[in-house]
């Protein structure tokens, strides 16, 4: 077995050194009646070639995003990632290291986490960011729990523009933590009365912008109303690229900003692993979940970095911790921070402008198809399309014509008749004129 | 004793003449080069990504277009590559040497798995593209589920939890939901003192009260202690097995019976599952739910602290409460159930957007297919043998709370052998860094004083173990001989000397900020 260095002779010698006659002597604590004597009923070891063949066959059954005109978003986006990003994250010293608990020999990880935290804070317009959460949705759940700790209240209000998966994650947590979660109805055109839902019991109001239907929401009046009632504004985003072109949530008064960072540096990978971004105001840092990296000095006075404020965390505080989270998304943070440092301000701005411009062109092309309507007044790179009939059927027919045209809203929010004709359509810098033309042509055919 | 010292310097360290360290003008040390922060070398106008001019359109951003610049620094590609390569060289890694962190399972990460995860059919598919366009992705999840169920002897597996602690949350929510369905409100969860911090944190997160269970002198749980604590208010016990002292809970079947007889559930922390794959099935031990850290047992890379993956296997009693999405195999048919609202009466709901850590699933299945049932069992046996070999070769100099008892995949020492030396567990760990090793887990578990938990894994050759053992013996003898400075001043040869963690926590500096111009001028 290519991954196991011990030879049969090694094993014999080592057993003798240990002072037992067989390997089973070392497993003697497992009660005999539950000890497994037969091999599990699974295939035997295989060489690289055979494993590649098996997994290659499975992979080949899937339609990859790069192989077709591709417009699927709704929380995960197909962007171009520079080749150097994937090369660098596979450096042994990054890929095969652990959480930096021994900082003297983990300065590489710690410094990039410090840089990551700084980039996320700048991007979101906040004071500080943590070293990542699992993804945007679980980060949103943690943001609500944090708001409960800060305000000592237990009622969260969720906008109807919040991604339904995110809403469900918050609701699941809330149900088990005995918190009150008030979820407003799906709000396709950003017309809900969220200000009216905020009262003196509200711990936080959770608003996504661009929202799941693509609308940009002005967070300022919501922040004002929330603050007037002693509540926090949790601002959510699922498309990190939007922050390159849209006013930051921090500048609009958010208290916690949380979102999905996949768009920068990370491939689609069928939904994970991704990287949750989490930022807040300085005054709340001791209530933050997750790992934090901070600057310090070593015994010679040289600048260095360590994990810090760990008295918030489970390995120190156990049942009094701010969160049960242990693992973060280390390598996905690294991909994010490398891609972001390659982009810089100039590259981020240009990529975001290209995403937006491509989406505008696409909206115009699809809106011109008879019977089709673009519902948004504002959007960044994703908008809602109303089609005649069931959107899910339209998407399947488009797929049969080789176009992955978006996400039927019914897939995210099933059982709501009024949403059955809606498709979320996303465009990024990877889409070409030909892709757009192919989509418009296929849509026309499908609907005629 | 016969020890393979091949590869070590032939000269004992004390015979070296110690040269005074004059330092260097640059602060660099040959191959180890200091690297400034990104924000000190990058410039907002520089980019390492060339993109065509965006099409000219009328923007539809309303009044919300960003007005002020962010000032994010950019790097050209050569600058970026150099920045990150230099940073990487300030890290220790498994590929560089033994990484014996107990409970963390730092085994070799096969590169085949990286290649497989990057196949376009896995890496470049969207979680919400039509299911008809991703049958192979669903097949992969189903196949991995089948392996996990077979290896554990359980009924179902919830794949979506993102990491171990998230899996614990999933399992404990399922237990709470099952109690709710029985119309019972049980508030107490029993957690042994030796447990990972995530166990009590998870239980508390969803409103349980944590009650501790003391350990026997060797770190195992006495079923009598469980029996005396169970009752109508006890929802579950959370037990790690093999436990964090590196021992198999030999009374696990009795413990399971005690909790079941009292109407509670048995949550097993699967962090140490890697010791018993192919040797025992947790379903046979009476477990109701257990998370499996794919990044430990099935070798998906730790990546400097994540991403992980924490699928949860469930017993018949809890299977109905699995979260959505869920992949269900019925004979030849494999279905991906996404809907958390309708048709899933008992499901605890959704724990994350999308389907979980697909990239980790591919790597884990690649690892399993490569090992096969025979290789997986051999890996467990080798991991246990390697740990016992270290135990046997160090036990005359180090102090093991469990005495001569064989361990599982990790060996726990306490600091009583250092008594009177003035040297602490932390000092020893830092001295190991100077010798070229990553230290073991220190000060965990909390049940022994100055804990040192060593987990070599099956990936270490005998030669590698012998080098490690020889160094550990030298260090113990140096400590006992009063060579205190070696320990107190360590690490001397790492990229940084000991870092001031108190200072970092007292006045937290969690991000770079631009120096204020007047300060920069004053400093000149």
Give the closest of B164, B372, B439 to A43, CB-based.
B372
- Which of A3, A105, A114 shows the shortest C-beta gap to B108? A3
Least CB–CB distance from B385: residue in A11, A166, A343: A11
Banded model confidence at residue A327, pLDDT cuts 50, 70, 90 = confident
Interface of B with A in 212-241 (CB under 8 A): none
Average pLDDT over residues A65-75: 98
Cα distances (Å, whole numbers) of residue B274 to B271, B277, B280, B374, B459: 8, 6, 11, 14, 12
Greater pLDDT, A77 or B329: A77
Q: Bridge-partner residues for A70, per DSSP? A: A404
Can you say whether the dihedral through the CA atoms of A16, A17, A18, A19 is positive or negative?
A: positive
pLDDT given at position A71: 98
Residues of B whose CB is below 8 A from A378: 60-62, 64
By Cβ distance, the residue of B126, B366, B444 closest to A65 is B126
Q: What pLDDT shows up at residue A10?
A: 98
Tokens of B27: 């602060």
Find, in chain A, the residue whose alpha carbon is nearest to that of B86: A108
Contact list, A51 vs chain B (CB under 8 Å)? 112, 116, 366, 369-370
Give B47→chain A minimum CA distance, Å.
Answer: 5
pLDDT tens, A169-205?
999 999 999 999 999 999 999 999 999 999 999 999 9
**A16 Cβ partners below 8 Å, 6+ apart?**
none
Res B1: pLDDT: 41
Q: Does B22 touch chain A (CB under 8 A)?
A: no
Question: Is the CB of B371 less than 8 angstroms away from the CB of A3?
Answer: yes
Q: Which residues of B touch A52 (CB under 8 A)?
A: 112, 115-116
Please give the structure tokens belonging to residue B502.
């108190």
Listed residue (B109, B389, B402, B408) closest to B279, CA to CA: B408
Q: Does A32 touch chain B (CB under 8 A)?
A: no
Angstroms from A229 CA to nearest CA on chain B = 25
- If you average pLDDT over residues A395-410, what whole number do you get? 98
- Cβ–Cβ contact A437 with B under 8 A: no
pLDDT at B194: 87
Helix extents (H) in B89-134 = 111-117, 120-123
Q: How close, in Å, is residue B361 to chain A by CA atoms?
A: 10
Strands A382-386 and A373-374: antiparallel
Predicted pLDDT at B523: 47
Which DSSP string do the residues of B396-432 spell out, in sequence order? TTSB-TTTT---SS-EEEBSGGGTTTT--HHHHHHHH
Measured in angstroms, the CA of A230 and the nearest CA of chain B are apart by 24
Arithmetic mean of pLDDT over chain A = 97
How far apart are the CA of A222 and the nearest CA of chain B, in angstroms?
15
Q: Which of B510, B512, B514, B515 to mutate to test the interface with A (most CBs of A within 10 A)?
A: B510
Residues 288-347 of A with CB under 8 A from B: 291-300, 302, 304-306, 308-311, 313-321, 323-332, 334, 337-338, 340-347
Which of B490, B392, B367 is CA-nearest to residue B432?
Answer: B490
Contact list, B509 vs chain A (CB under 8 Å):
294-296
| B508: nearest Cα among A326, A305, A232, A111 | A305
Cβ contacts below 8 Å, chain A against chain B, sum to: 727
Closest to B123 (Cβ–Cβ): which among A42, A267, A294? A267
More confident residue, A120 or A320: A120
Dist CA A156 CA A202 (whole Å): 6
- pLDDT score of B516: 78
- What is the predicted pLDDT for the residue at B515? 86
Q: Are A136 and A236 in contact (CB under 8 A)?
A: yes
Per-residue pLDDT of chain B (524 residues; tens, 9 = 90+): 444 445 555 455 554 455 566 789 999 999 999 999 999 999 999 999 999 999 999 999 999 999 999 999 999 999 999 999 999 999 999 999 999 999 999 999 999 999 999 999 999 999 999 999 999 999 999 999 999 999 999 999 999 999 999 999 999 999 999 999 999 999 999 999 889 999 999 999 999 999 999 988 888 999 999 999 999 999 999 999 999 999 999 999 999 999 999 999 999 999 999 999 999 999 999 999 999 999 999 999 999 999 999 999 999 999 999 999 999 888 788 889 988 555 578 999 999 999 999 999 999 999 999 999 999 999 999 999 999 999 999 999 999 999 999 999 999 999 999 999 999 999 999 999 999 999 999 999 988 999 999 999 999 999 999 999 999 999 999 999 999 999 999 999 999 999 999 999 999 999 999 887 765 554 44
Q: Which tokens in the block code for residue B247?
A: 């021992």
The per-type count for chain B, helices as H runs and strands as E runs, is: 16, 12
With CB atoms and an 8 Å threshold, state whether A177 touches B207.
yes
Which of A270, A325, A340 comes nearest B137 by C-beta? Answer: A270
User: How distant is the Cα of A311 from the closest Cα of chain B, in angstroms?
Assistant: 9
Burial class (CB in 10 A: 0-12, 13-18, 19+), A196: exposed
Instruction: Check pLDDT > 80 for residue A410.
Output: yes
Contact B388, A18 (CB under 8 A): yes
Helix, strand or coil, per DSSP, at residue A40:
coil
Report CB contact under 8 Å: A296, B504. Answer: yes
φ, ψ for residue A176 (rounded to 5)? -80, -25
Rounded to the nearest 5°, which phi and psi values hold at A260? Answer: -95, 130
- To the nearest whole Å, the CA of A201 is away from the closest chain B CA by 20
pLDDT (average), residues A355-367: 98
The DSSP annotation for A282-297 comes to: GGGGGG--S--EEEEE
């Amino acid at each position: 077995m290519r991954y196991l260095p011990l030879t049969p002779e090694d094993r014999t010698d080592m057993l003798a050194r240990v002072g037992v006659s067989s390997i089973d002597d070392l497993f003697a604590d497992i009660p005999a009646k539950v000890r497994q004597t037969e091999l599990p009923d699974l295939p035997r070891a295989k060489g690289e070639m055979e494993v590649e063949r098996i997994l290659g066959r499975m992979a080949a059954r899937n339609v990859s995003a790069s192989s077709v005109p591709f417009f699927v978003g709704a929380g995960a986006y197909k962007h171009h990632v520079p080749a150097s990003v994937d090369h660098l994250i596979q450096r042994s010293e990054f890929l095969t290291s652990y959480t930096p608990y021994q900082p003297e020999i983990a300065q590489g990880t710690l410094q990039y986490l410090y840089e990551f935290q700084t980039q996320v804070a700048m991007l979101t317009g906040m004071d500080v960011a943590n070293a990542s959460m699992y993804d945007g949705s679980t980060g949103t759940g943690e943001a609500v729990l944090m708001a409960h700790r800060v305000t000592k209240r237990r009622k969260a209000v969720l906008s109807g523009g919040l991604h339904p998966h995110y809403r469900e994650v918050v609701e699941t947590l809330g149900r088990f933590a005995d918190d009150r979660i008030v979820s407003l109805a799906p709000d396709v055109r950003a017309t809900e009365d969220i200000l009216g839902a905020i009262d003196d019991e509200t711990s936080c109001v959770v608003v996504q912008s661009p929202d799941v239907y693509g609308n940009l929401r002005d967070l300022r009046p919501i922040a004002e109303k929330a603050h007037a009632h002693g509540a926090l504004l949790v601002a959510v985003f699922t498309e990190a690229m939007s922050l390159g072109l849209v006013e930051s949530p921090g500048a609009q008064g958010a208290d916690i900003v949380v979102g999905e960072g996949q768009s920068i540096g990370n491939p689609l990978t069928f939904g994970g692993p991704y990287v949750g971004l989490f930022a807040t105001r300085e005054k709340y840092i001791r209530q933050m979940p997750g790992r934090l990296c901070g600057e310090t000095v070593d015994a010679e006075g040289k600048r260095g970095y360590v994990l810090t404020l760990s008295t918030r965390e489970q390995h120190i505080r156990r049942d009094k911790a701010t969160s049960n989270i242990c693992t973060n998304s280390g390598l996905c943070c690294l991909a994010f921070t490398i891609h972001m440092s390659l982009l810089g301000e100039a590259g981020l701005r240009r990529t975001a402008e290209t995403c937006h411009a491509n989406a505008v062109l696409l909206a115009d092309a699809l809106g011109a198809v008879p019977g089709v309507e673009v519902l948004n007044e504002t959007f960044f790179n994703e908008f809602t399309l109303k089609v005649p009939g069931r959107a899910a059927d339209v998407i399947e027919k488009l797929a049969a014509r080789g176009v992955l045209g978006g996400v039927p809203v019914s897939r995210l929010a099933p059982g709501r008749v009024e949403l059955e004709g809606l498709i979320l359509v996303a465009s990024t810098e990877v889409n070409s004129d030909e892709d757009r033309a192919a989509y418009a042509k296929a849509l026309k055919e499908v609907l005629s | 004793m016969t020890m393979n010292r091949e590869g070590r310097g032939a000269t004992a360290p004390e015979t070296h003449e110690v040269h005074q360290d004059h330092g260097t003008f640059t602060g660099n040390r040959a191959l180890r080069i200091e690297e400034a922060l990104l924000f000190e070398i990058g410039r907002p106008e520089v980019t390492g990504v060339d993109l065509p001019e965006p099409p000219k359109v009328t923007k539809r951003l309303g009044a919300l277009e960003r007005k002020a610049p962010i000032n994010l620094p950019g790097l050209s590609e050569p600058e970026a590559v150099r920045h990150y390569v230099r940073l990487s060289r300030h890290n220790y890694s498994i590929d560089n040497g033994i990484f014996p962190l107990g409970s963390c399972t730092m085994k070799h990460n096969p590169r085949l798995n990286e290649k497989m995860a990057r196949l376009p059919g896995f890496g470049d598919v969207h979680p919400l593209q039509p299911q008809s366009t991703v049958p192979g992705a669903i097949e992969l999840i189903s196949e991995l589920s089948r392996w996990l169920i077979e290896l554990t002897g359980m009924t179902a597996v919830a794949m979506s939890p993102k990491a171990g602690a998230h899996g614990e949350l999933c399992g404990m929510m399922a237990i709470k939901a099952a109690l709710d369905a029985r119309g019972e409100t049980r508030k107490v969860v029993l957690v042994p003192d030796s447990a990972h911090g995530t166990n009590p944190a998870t239980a508390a997160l969803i409103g349980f009260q944590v009650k501790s269970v003391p350990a026997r002198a060797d770190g195992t749980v006495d079923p009598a202690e469980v029996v005396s604590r169970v009752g109508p208010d006890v929802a579950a016990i959370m037990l790690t097995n093999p436990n964090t002292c590196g021992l198999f809970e030999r009374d696990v079947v009795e413990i399971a019976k005690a909790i079941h007889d009292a109407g509670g559930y048995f949550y097993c922390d699967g962090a140490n599952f890697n010791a018993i794959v192919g040797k025992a099935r947790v379903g046979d031990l009476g477990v109701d739910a257990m998370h499996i850290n794919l990044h430990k047992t099935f070798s998906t890379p730790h990546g400097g602290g994540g991403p992980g993956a924490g699928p949860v296997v469930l017993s018949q009693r809890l299977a109905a409460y699995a979260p959505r999405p869920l992949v269900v195999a019925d004979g030849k048919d494999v279905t991906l159930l996404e809907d958390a609202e309708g048709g899933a009466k008992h499901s605890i709901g959704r724990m994350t957007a999308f389907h979980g850590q697909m990239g980790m699933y591919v790597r884990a299945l690649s690892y399993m297919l490569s090992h096969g049932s025979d290789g997986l069992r051999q890996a467990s046996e080798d991991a246990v043998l390697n740990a016992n070999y270290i135990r046997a070769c160090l036990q005359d100099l180090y102090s093991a709370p469990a005495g001569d008892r064989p361990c599982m995949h990790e060996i726990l020492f306490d600091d009583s052998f250092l008594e009177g030396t003035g040297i602490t567990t932390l000092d020893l760990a830092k001295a190991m860094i100077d010798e070229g090793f990553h230290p073991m887990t220190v000060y965990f578990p909390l049940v022994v004083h100055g804990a040192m938990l060593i987990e070599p894994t099956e990936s270490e050759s005998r030669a590698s173990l012998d080098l490690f053992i020889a160094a550990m013996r030298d260090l113990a003898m140096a400590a006992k001989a009063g060579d205190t400075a070696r320990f107190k001043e360590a690490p001397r040869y790492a990229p940084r000397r000991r870092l001031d963690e108190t200072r970092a926590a007292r006045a937290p500096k969690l991000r770079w900020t631009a120096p204020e111009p007047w300060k920069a001028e004053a400093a000149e």
